[in-house]
Structure 1
């Protein structure tokens, strides 16, 4: 569908890689994700991926099929899918860890109340105390801030993972439902052919007894009947496979799932139209997740470098001490403030090795980020090429069925007039059956290719899912 895309990409990618590298070379402890996102959008826009698809908004694109049952299945899958629930819990856990990391900005400590009686000395000794103590790590060199940035990037990465899983679930539900309805259509075609062949066998059997037909025609018809009957178990299994997958995606058992016959969705106008194709790619969760993983690795690298600096803390406590009783009577007030500087000079070789290791991980995460951008663009273009192929194959498959059907009608008329033998009529019937099944398969493949295109250009509609 897009012309000379490979030539455009080769030059644009070289420019984009240089531009991104120049920008990332000066990054600090926290990656500016908004600035990077704008950079990626500009890069993809210059590559001119699928501008001809610009049109209506792709949010809720599956509603083009006008299937209430499909819409309900998608809603149920988003609400009940166990993988999505697990991913949501992992996100909440990451947010909790972020809160725990932010709490390290504040003083840490607690309240201690103690009472004891001992006979280690003579006479018996009693003592009680109550104190409040805290320890405050002063983030003078930004180590705690770097760890907070890393925890925040980890939480955002998990949020993008949840969005990627939503994309996978929604796309799988639509593909599974289309496949199920297509298999219903194929079963209906096969059953119609079986009925027609059975009627032909009855007529031929009577003609053989009367000497008007031969056994060859009868046996050929029976063989064709058995061939069609052998297709029914495969179609039945395919239907069960589709319904089982839909049940799994919606968090149910297959016996609890009831799917209606909505074969009309195969004939619904279903177009791939995107409001902003480049924006849809730039917002893909795999790109965003790779960016946040790079931000996390970079922040941990900064934290490892800050560990080379002294650690400054302030410890303090205040309390009361009572000697000779357990009821804090006649108590003495005590307090203490202890600033502390700790510098792990003897651990420098280990700290340097940890810093170097984390910097290498940061570089690896950056390369993964670049690869995610290129892969997203490649997947998007590949989905369009597949869509173009399936649309063309569907057109020729429909033309084939049209001509095969006309040939069968002509063969039937010629057979009735005695111009051709019955075997030629059987051949024409077999041709029209194969052509019809091929047309249905092409229709299913074309619809699934369109779903795959929406799955590739998923940035905008998947973002809308998070606001539902």
Structure 2
């Protein structure tokens, strides 16, 4: 599972990326395939090969959780805003593509002019067109830039959907876990209150001393002090889920589902390499680079002449305003415009855009490496949490066995009541630790699916195409 990045020439993975501006748009499928090949060499997640991870949260077998995820995808306001931003980017792409065609308009008007007793009238109807010929590819480069911008916004939307889904599952697991911890805390308080009643009677009978009673009262106060924090943690999770699903906290009504911690929840990936290579952060960085590269090409093409064709056709009627007895007139005017005096400024703009293109390229490489490292770190966290859960379960089993033994010894008069009380507290504390390890383990699995999100994120509902 250990990844040694120094064994791989990372730059070689992206050898086909052209920074010279020869092509305005990057071949995204080709480069994503290069990333997949690079990830395959790292062999990060081969051990996770298994079932398809689409709708992975269904493994928790909670209809309540499934509904929360659906509600969040449909009602989350951040998602709605991102979807509108994507539509805006697509509209801007349409505006750029319109420059391929002639521009112009129709003008129809009449005019009456009076000087002393003389009145002159005229009417006109004109159609004017201007068509900029994209002989050197500047318009095409700007269209490619707009297209890459729209694709980048689409990947940003997918990344936000991933964040929303994993946050809902995380919040739900945390809510159910905090509810279970609150129940255990109440059990501890009840047990301590019962012990205090017993000890008070024993003190009055002279069998126990005030030291044991006060120590037990101190333990009770310690546990009672934890109640406000536990209640707040549960409400905080509820508020998070409400915000994610577009509601207010008062409208949330979740039932107790402790069964999710006993569900067969595991991390399996149908195609681990694609789960990394198709991550939206990698795709977005690639499209951002493609946009910067296209703008760099457009800036280079601005050094060449602009060739356009202006056309004019119309009719003019003198002496009336009803288009009778009209004269036709037209004009075609090819035009070449070359901003030679602006060359220093255009060269500076080209250089600036080329630097931005190289910066975007380096950022793309950084995102790929970060995704690989993030995926490995997620696996490390998953392994650690599973080890901790194993030892937490062992602790609870031993503590429970010790309590059973202590209860038998107390019934036979071999140990004092305070030792039995300590044994019972050990069981409850071990149980609480087991719950914590269950929560941490489940959240580590969610974190793993969040890191390996490239495939399952494409199946999410309401994904804008």
Quickly name the TM-score band, shorter chain normalised.
Answer: over 0.9
Distance 1:185 1:466 in 2: 32
**Count of aligned pairs:** 462
Q: For structure 1, which segment, 357-366 or 430-439, has the greater mean C-alpha deviation from structure 2 after superposition?
A: 430-439
Work out whether 1:11 is the aligned partner of 2:7. yes
CA RMSD of aligned residues (A): 1.5
| Corresponding residue number in structure 2 for 1:461 | 456
User: In 2, are the aligned partners of 1:81 and 1:250 still within 8 Å (CA)?
Assistant: yes
| Corresponding residue number in structure 2 for 1:198 | 193
Deviations 1:50-101 (A, max 9, x none): 1010000000000000000000000000000000000000000000000111
Distance 1:219 1:421 in 2: 16
Q: Secondary structure at the residue paired with 2:15? A: helix
**Which residue among 435, 442, 451 is the counterpart of 1:440?**
435
Work out whether 1:84 is the aligned partner of 2:79. yes
TM-score when scaled to structure 1?
A: 0.96
User: In 1, are the aligned partners of 2:19 and 2:293 still within 8 Å (CA)?
Assistant: no
| Corresponding residue number in structure 2 for 1:249 | 244
**Which residue among 15, 35, 57 is the counterpart of 1:21?**
15
Following superposition, the deviation at residue 194 of structure 1 comes to 1.7
Following superposition, the deviation at residue 229 of structure 1 comes to 1.6
User: In 2, are the aligned partners of 1:323 and 1:331 still within 8 Å (CA)?
Assistant: yes
User: In 2, are the aligned partners of 1:49 and 1:381 still within 8 Å (CA)?
Assistant: yes
User: In 1, are the aligned partners of 2:19 and 2:357 still within 8 Å (CA)?
Assistant: no
User: In 2, are the aligned partners of 1:163 and 1:466 still within 8 Å (CA)?
Assistant: no
Map residues 194-343 of structure 1 onto 2, 5 A cutoff.
194-343=189-338
Q: For structure 1, which segment, 80-89 or 318-327, has the greater mean C-alpha deviation from structure 2 after superposition?
A: 318-327
Following superposition, the deviation at residue 22 of structure 1 comes to 4.8
User: In 2, are the aligned partners of 1:217 and 1:422 still within 8 Å (CA)?
Assistant: no
Distance 1:19 1:453 in 2: 25
Q: Secondary structure at the residue paired with 1:226? A: helix
Distance 2:44 2:388 in 1: 23
Distance 1:450 1:206 in 2: 50
Following superposition, the deviation at residue 205 of structure 1 comes to 1.8
User: Using a 3 Å threshold, how does the CA distance of structure 1 residues 257 and 120 change in structure 2: closer, same or farther?
Assistant: farther
Following superposition, the deviation at residue 424 of structure 1 comes to 2.5
**Which residue among 161, 170, 174 is the counterpart of 2:169?**
174
Following superposition, the deviation at residue 37 of structure 1 comes to 1.1
Where does the alignment leave 5 or more consecutive residues of structure 1 unmatched? none
User: Using a 3 Å threshold, how does the CA distance of structure 1 residues 70 and 121 change in structure 2: closer, same or farther?
Assistant: farther
| Corresponding residue number in structure 2 for 1:375 | 370
User: Using a 3 Å threshold, how does the CA distance of structure 1 residues 235 and 453 change in structure 2: closer, same or farther?
Assistant: same
Work out whether 1:159 is the aligned partner of 2:157. no
Deviations 1:378-437 (A, max 9, x none): 000000000000000010011111111212222222223222233323332332222111
| Corresponding residue number in structure 2 for 1:50 | 45
User: In 2, are the aligned partners of 1:107 and 1:137 still within 8 Å (CA)?
Assistant: yes
Deviations 1:313-338 (A, max 9, x none): 00111111111222222211111111
